[in-house]
Structure 1
Amino acid sequence: MLDVCLLGTGGMMPLPGRWLSSLLVRCNGVVILCDCGEGTQISWRYTNWSFHDLGMIALTHLHADHVAGLPGILFSLAYADRREPVRIYGPRGIAALLAHFRVLVPVLPFPIEVVELDGRYEETLPNGLHFAALPVHHRVPCFAYRFTYPRRPRFLPERAQALQVPVTLWRVLQQGQPVQVGERVVYPSDVLGEPRRGVSVAFVTDTRPTPELPSFVHDVDLLICEGMYGNPADLPRAVERGHMIFTEAAQLAAQAQARQLWLTHFSPALQNPEFWLPVAQQQFAATALGVPHRTVTLRFLDEASS
């Protein structure tokens, strides 16, 4: 399962009750932070999530409202006695940015590893989570991110028994490794069922719609997508500045067959995003407004319905 907590929903500048862009994802005890706007560490303290568990930071791009909170987060990690490495992903330039920020936090009790992204990127993280990045269309290099927790096929004990596999070797097969039974090799495919759908969340912000986005976020359980402007009349401004309006985010969710959509990254001029929510829901009914500290646990489909 995946735990998701939206820390901030604002764009450009923090407002009372609206922290800047930031999102937490937790899987198998490891916390991932997506974006880190000014004041992120303050918003985080309103939750019960541990700073110590933060092992990865994924920055969409290098605009200040998405990265200026990084020194405070690094200090909070150090104060939480984090010792294990922290890996930071983002477009080219984050290594230089981090070097400048380290003037403010020069001594840390944990090593930092930086991964600068040039294009599409995929990796299976140590906690078993599949991480994918997609370049999107903004005024500077920017990435959308997707996190998928895969599900192993169902283990079929009757097949293992028919092949006379000792029970002590079942776990090895469940973990995807072949086993030796007498003179015969038994492969995981011999005792596992059909592939099963995992669980996933995608974070898309500071971009215009692109042809690649619907397939990149296809069938996600939760799409968290920017809606910089609610009024359809603001579309020319969104195009000029590399953002989306509510209806475009909702259309993306519909095209991608997402399960649900949270709108986020609201313009400071958008004082009442709830006024425009019905406009988005006409395009995609399962649309909700992101609010600070909104939290959900995403479970495998059969577990969620039970």
Structure 2
Amino acid sequence: MRQLDERGSMIDVCLLGTGGMMPLPERWLSALLVRCEGHTVLIDCGEGTQISWRYTGWSFRDLDTILLTHLHADHVAGLPGILFSLAFAEREEPVRIVGPHGTSRVVHALRSIVPVLPFALEVLELEGTSELQLPGGLLVRTLPVAHRVPCLAYTLHRPRGRRFLPERARALGIPVQFWRQLQRGEPVEVGGRIVSPEEVLGPPRRGITLAFVTDTRPTPELPAFVKDADLLICEGMYGDPAMLPRAIERGHMLFHEAAELARAAQVQQL
């Protein structure tokens, strides 16, 4: 488990599975949990996800959104178990599942073995580059990448609000009861004059960005897409450079290609 913290703007990150193709006794298939402001996002849902999730102590009920990179079995086969765990946890709010073209067909096929759910499933298929606002204030961006089937890379960005400057508010004679509104970016009226948030807020502050890239060959667009990410979680299917022909054939990266992407994008951590 890892916490990304930019002076109080925190998200929790937990890799549930990092394996490829087949699960191992101590290594489950692709799955990542991200938690922010009491809301949880799951990226990919390989076999064994509900088992590895239980080791975290995180609540299933907080899961709002599932982001699927692509529709190969090692990235989606855990979905029925997760849906069952959500139902068992008595979640009632809708759950949104996001993925590339074909996601609706696959989700409804897998969901057929968990036919009764106490919550609605909302399926959203994305093509091309997209932006999506999630509960908890996370902004998701997608980029199509180069695998054998439609596949998406994701970034999750947590913006930070501008710092409120109380000394400036006092100098302007703004009563304390109006400060919270100004912090939220709302103008207030004081003494017959409209006070803009710009008058009492500091400059824009850097947020936190998490990038998730898996099952792809390097593409020209990837460095700009993940640039300056605080954490890049990236596949590396093969360590031996001699495996390059297979990596090209199957749409995967070598270890050193993942490292080169991180360096080109100037990410903080790979």
- TM-score category (smaller protein): over 0.9
Report runs of 4+ in structure 1 exceeding 3 Å deviation.
none
Q: Which residue matches 1:229?
A: 238
Match among 34, 41, 50 for residue 32 of structure 1? 41
Query: CA shift at 1:40, angstroms?
Result: 1.1
- AA matched with 1:129: L
CA distance in 1, matches of 2:191, 2:217: 59
Consecutive unaligned residues in structure 1, runs of 5 or more: 262-306
Q: Could you list the per-position Cα deviations for residues 216-240 of structure 1 after superposition, in whole angstroms to 9, with x for gaps in the alignment?
A: 1111111100000011121121111
**2:53 matched to which residue of 1?**
44
Task: Say how many residue pairs are matched.
Answer: 261
After TM superposition, the structure 1 = structure 2 runs for residues 129-278 of structure 1, keeping only pairs within 5 Å, are 129-261=138-270
1:187-244: CA deviations, max 9, x gaps? Answer: 1111111111111211100111112111211111111000000111211211111110
Secondary structure (helix, strand or coil) at the match of 1:227 reads coil
1:9 pairs, out of 4, 18, 42, with 18
Deviations 1:62-94 (A, max 9, x none): 111101110010001101111111111001111
Q: Give, in angstroms, the shift of residue 162 of structure 1.
A: 2.3
**Identity over aligned residues, as a percent?**
69
Number of the residue aligned with 1:285: none
**SS class of match (2:215):** coil
Task: Give the residue type in structure 1 aligned to 2:81.
Answer: G
Cα separation, 2, equivalents of 1:123 and 1:182: 40
Please say if residues 213 and 233 of structure 2, whose CA atoms lie closer than 8 Å, have aligned partners that are also in contact: yes
Question: Relative to structure 2, which stretch is displaced further, 104-113 or 153-162?
Answer: 153-162
**Aligned-partner residue type, residue 147 of structure 1:** L
- After TM superposition, the score normalised by the length of structure 1 is 0.83
- The CA deviation at 1:153 is 1.4
Describe the SS at the equivalent of 2:153.
strand
User: In structure 2, what residue type is equivalent to 1:25?
Assistant: V
Q: What CA distance in whole angstroms lies between the structure 1 residues aligned with 2:97 and 2:173? A: 47
- Offset of residue 123 of structure 1: 2.2
2:135 & 2:28 partners in 1: Cα distance? 30
Secondary structure of the equivalent of 2:260? helix
Provide the alpha-carbon RMSD of the alignment: 1.1
- Is the Cα contact below 8 Å between 2:70 and 2:152 reproduced in 1? yes
Structure 2 unaligned regions, length at least 5: 1-9
* 2:232–2:262 Cα contact (<8 Å) kept: yes
Of residues 46, 62, 68 in structure 2, which corresponds to 1:59?
Answer: 68
- Describe the SS at the equivalent of 1:132: strand
